[in-house]
Chains A and B, each alone.
Chain A
């Protein structure tokens, strides 16, 4: 089976710290694939390897059959890989619209010399075309009311959404979402989950997502991989992953038999591992 994205035996070391140890997995075309794991398990390291910020110490990465292990980060969006960041990386003093337009940068044909001859070189037509794409994304993510607002003034949940919009503007075939719901309230999470499902189903984007919120992950993912201390401990559909004893141990501690329902507060003292 040919994966859209495949990692083969990827290890990553920072000096003596082993962030990742021989992690192998593949993401199918059109899939919504999630990686979960406790803090420091190496989830973001995987995203950074795929987007090129880190180069694996060992192992190889393949994107649509092509070895991209050594490819420069800035060459990867052109292949169709887009990402968002766990800690927001927006241009705070630019408008939402401009932030999203930045996502179109690698698709622009005009440069700053030809662009200055606005009407002659087709820069005008090009800008209109890109603006249209951006407006479609704004419509998709319901950002109309903040289109012209400065990104830095928006509430956190909205900024996360703007970042997703910018990643979508790249028109990636594979989008990497690093904790898209971190720090959101329930309603914002629910909205975001819907956008992610829609962009997977309606736009046909392959999604690889890192997320802490187990409920959301299990609800919307097709397949889930679990990391613990840089090692893969489980992979499969949400139900089988939930049932996996290794996963229970990693998340809940040794003694626990079942997932604790967070609503059943106050929790008995012994279940707090």
Chain B
């Protein structure tokens, strides 16, 4: 095993560590990017050169210590290079999600007073130019892809290669300058402004010091070792703390190769070509992979279908006895792992929400070493993880090291309370917001706002946000998200919102999973046109009714869904209904669907809808339909909505 902590001590900022890697392993592959159908290689030397050129180019533009440099676009070598270059000149990097809304981008860039933004292509440049005077500090926009840029003559625009050329000129004139700049960087300086996924109001910017990120990555690596032979495919959003940890912190520390896919659309194919050794997916991605496999099997020949069922059965029963079925592996799982790009996986993780027990078992049976992790941006991402051999789908594992202290504040009779954490490498506070920092950090302990408890095996169980625990009018406490997740374990349910706070009973608004239900409808010859139409079919209602009843059977009576309806559209982050990490924004939903919610509770069996959907390109579509409400309470008249 490598001495990760020693390495983090030898070079305590990204540019220092990059320089060290380039010196010692200059010709080794650091990054790969798929371009024009081929994997292009970037050695540590290439990486170092690009970063140096960007850094000195920015110096030529008059940028330096204390400035904020924004970065927006798909995950690419230029993205990570720009971040390290920003750190090299003593500036702070601020990553923006590639599908960020205008207002949010304007807010973050003006709040951070970003002077330069690296924007990948025309799409992102368009977005920035549209902000106009809302971002008065923005002086430079650097783009990597020149396509479609001909029409602009905004003086702030500059091609990335042009910036790099400026930097090369600078390097030729002053050969020692870059090293001086890098030497001047400090491990305790604020290097990264990391947006926290704000479920309410504006996102906050957590200030992270590079030395701390690297030390925390060293802790993580000691718990889950990686090295230069490891392959990682970078598809999570780079502004997110976990991708920062994997694609930058860990990759610099242990030199695992980071691969960038050609396009978001080609992800699964490129993923398979690389066959990474580690992967982190959100639960919904694991769920959708499992759902795609099942949908694919439905479409395949009878022989393949029976192979799948035999293999799956053998694999699951072996797993239940703590064993691994060689027959199932030969029949099914080897081919499945290959198809999904999981052949070389040595470590796999999920986090952010619960993953369905069936899905968990599905992947475990397949031989995917799936584990759950848990953490927050403020605490530099994950800090608990399942130890190998002690995986329990209901928990999020144990702290990765002894210096990570977790305590449960104000526990109730069942030991459930707020999760409060302290470790030596946590964030330095929120940018320009000492009062927000003081509210969350008390005596050096970070208050996570999550409700949880330690189970009998001393593993942490996370239930929900404390403030999201809701109470019905009868005073029963419940976690809407917990029930939603149970519902979403059904392959037919894509998204759902459980209502009931301050009401007399629980109800659910459900979005069908179009990809699966459309196949199902085809199989049973149910004609439909659009999502809205499919979601209003009585057959689909009947199908979903069975799913809800199955979940209800596993819940205590007070927490059962008594009414539900199928929503006419999918919930969408672009409409503000979900966060960028696809968590439900309850306040927005409550406001936007207030009419529907009131109608559900007023006992109506049918709700007329006449609304307008706005698409991303600005066009609108009018939707007129009637939503049926299904009443599942025991005293309800029989199946009135199934007509």
Contact = CB atoms under 8 A, between A and B. Distances in A.
A202 B266 contact: no
A54 B262 CA distance: 43
A110 to B, nearest CB: 22
Nearest to B616: A187
Interface in B36-68: 36-38
B150 interface: yes
Given A132-B36, A202-B147, A144 B619 contact: no
A268 B36 CA distance: 53
Contact of B37 (A147, A187, A202): A147
A201 interface: yes
Contact of B36 (A139, A186, A198, A202): A139
Given A135-B36, A144-B37, A198 B147 contact: yes
Contacts of B151: 201
Contact of A138 (B37, B147, B148): B37
Contacts of B148: 194, 198, 202
Contacts of A132: 36
Contacts of B266: 144-145
A213 interface: no
A201 B150 contact: yes
A40 to B, nearest CB: 30
A140 interface: yes
Interface string B150-161: 110000000000
7 contacts: A136-B36, A138-B37, A144-B265, A144-B266, A190-B617, A202-B148, A202-B150
A142 interface: yes
B36 A145 contact: no
Interface string B234-262: 00000000000000000000000000001
Nearest to A263: B620
A71 B303 CA distance: 56
Contacts of B306: none
B620 to A, nearest CB: 10
A190 B617 CA distance: 9
Interface in A177-233: 186-187, 190, 194, 198, 201-202
B150 A186 contact: no
Nearest to A146: B265
Nearest to A142: B263
A135 B147 contact: no
B403 interface: no
B122 to A, nearest CB: 9
Given A144-B262, A144-B266, A145-B266, 15 more contacts: A132-B36, A135-B37, A135-B38, A136-B36, A138-B36, A139-B35, A142-B263, A144-B263, A145-B265, A186-B619, A187-B615, A190-B617, A198-B147, A201-B150, A202-B148
Interface in A112-161: 132, 135-136, 138-140, 142, 144-145, 147
A187 B615 CA distance: 10
A150 to B, nearest CB: 15
B269 A145 contact: yes
Contacts of A147: 37
Given A135-B37, A198-B148, A202-B147, A145 B617 contact: no
Contacts of A139: 35-36
A136 B36 CA distance: 6
Contacts of A190: 617
Contacts of A140: 147
Contacts of B269: 145
Contacts of A186: 617, 619
A140 B266 CA distance: 15
Given A136-B36, A144-B37, A187 B265 contact: no
Interface in B252-291: 262-263, 265-266, 269
Contacts of B37: 135, 138, 144, 147
B617 A187 contact: yes
Nearest to A191: B617
B569 to A, nearest CB: 16
A132 B265 CA distance: 21
A57 B48 CA distance: 67
Nearest to B150: A201
A142 B121 CA distance: 13
The 4 closest A-B pairs by CB, nearest first: A145-B265, A135-B36, A145-B266, A135-B37
A132 B35 CA distance: 11
Nearest to A136: B36
Nearest to A139: B36
Contacts of B38: 135
A145 B147 contact: no
Contacts of A201: 150-151
Contacts of B619: 186
B624 to A, nearest CB: 13
A142 B147 CA distance: 12
Contacts of B615: 187
A145 to B, nearest CB: 4
A227 B148 CA distance: 32
A140 B121 CA distance: 13
Nearest to B35: A139
Nearest to A133: B36
Interface string B491-503: 0000000000000
Interface in B595-643: 615, 617, 619
Given A135-B36, A136-B36, A145 B263 contact: yes
Contacts of B35: 139
Contacts of A187: 615, 617
Contacts of B150: 201-202
A140 B35 CA distance: 12
B126 to A, nearest CB: 11
Contacts of A142: 263
Nearest to B261: A144
A186 B615 CA distance: 11
A142, A190, A198 — most chain B CB neighbours (10 Å):
A198
A135 B269 CA distance: 17
A129 to B, nearest CB: 13
Nearest to B34: A144
A264 to B, nearest CB: 13
A138 B35 CA distance: 11
B300 to A, nearest CB: 16
A201 B151 CA distance: 9
Interface in B136-175: 147-148, 150-151
A202 B265 CA distance: 24
B294 to A, nearest CB: 21
A201 B37 CA distance: 25
A144 B269 CA distance: 10
B610 to A, nearest CB: 15
